[in-house]
Each structure stands twice: as C-alpha cells, then as structure tokens.
Amino acid sequence: MSRSDLSAPARTHASVRLHGMLDAPGELTVAQLRELPVSRVEATFDCLGSGEQRHRFEGPRLWDVVRAARPVVDLRGRKARLAFLLAVTGADGHCAVVSWAEIDPDFGGQEILLATSADGTPLDAAGPQLVVPGDRSGARYISGITDVWVGPFRG
C-alpha cells in the first residue's frame, strides 16, 4: 500500500449532521440540500477584521431544512415552540445559535439560508454556509457547517 492510500480522504462531499429533538435526524450532503427549494440573496455584512463585504448566496432556507427533519415541537399553539433554538457549528468549532422564532413564519420569518454556493462557487467540499441577511456583523455567517442541533432551551 502506498503512502497516499493511508492519507485522509479529501473533504469532497461535506455533510451536515442534523440532530436534537427530531423525528427524522440525519446527515445531509450539499447536493441533498440543493434538492430543497432554493433561495437567492445578496448580503452585505461587516467584519471587524476585514471591513464590509458583499456576497451572493444560494441555498435552501434553514426553516425548510429543519422542517424536513421533523422537529418534535407542537406547531398548533404558538408558545411551545418559542423555547426552541438551533445551534449551528462549523468545522473549526465556531458556533452560533439561531432562535426558532427568527425563522418561523409566524414570528420573524427571516430568510436565513444554508448556502450551497457563494458567489457562484459550489460549497460541496467546504460545507454549507449560514447566511443571516438581517445581521450587520458577519460573525454568524458560519462556513463549513458540520452540525445543526435543534432543541428547547432548558434554563
């Protein structure tokens, strides 16, 4: 066996693990994310280190991705779901939470995406990027997403 056979495989098909209080948890590749309805946004954000940036993103809404994983939450009333949150983590451990109400159409209904491409470049190898058009800062634009956890805050 040659040395190269022993090396770690390149991350050519990154996937996102959807877990937490879900009836259909699982692992989704960027190609699978593209099968959901696609949104396109042009977003401007500010980075403390590199100033203002503008990018074109496309991908499914986080809301549609989460709904497809069948969260165990009562959607008939409006109060039970308000304790839910989504914790999004990148390959480097950078993590941020999105509250359920930010993306629920009965509340904020924000168009937050799991981008499958940025400025026309596919993110199949790198993993999807969180797009939060309402944020002034770029810090929640988490790239190389590996995990989305969904569940209730238990304070």
53 binding ligand MTE? (CB under 6 A):
yes
* Cβ–Cβ < 8 Å for 96, 142: yes
- Of 49 and 120, which CB lies nearer to Mo ion in the complex structure? 49
- Least distance in angstroms from the C-beta of 8 to ligand MTE: 19
Please give the DSSP secondary-structure letter assigned to residue 36.
Answer: S
Residues 146 and 89 sit within 8 Å (Cβ to Cβ): yes
Q: Pick from Mo ion, ligand MTE, none: which does 75 bind, CB < 5 to 8 A by kind? A: none
| Identified binder of ligand MTE from the candidate list 138, 148, 149, 150, rule CB under 6 A | 138
In whole angstroms, the minimum distance from the beta carbon of 65 to Mo ion comes to 24
What residues line the site for ligand MTE (CB under 6 A)? 47, 53, 90, 92, 94, 138-139, 141-144
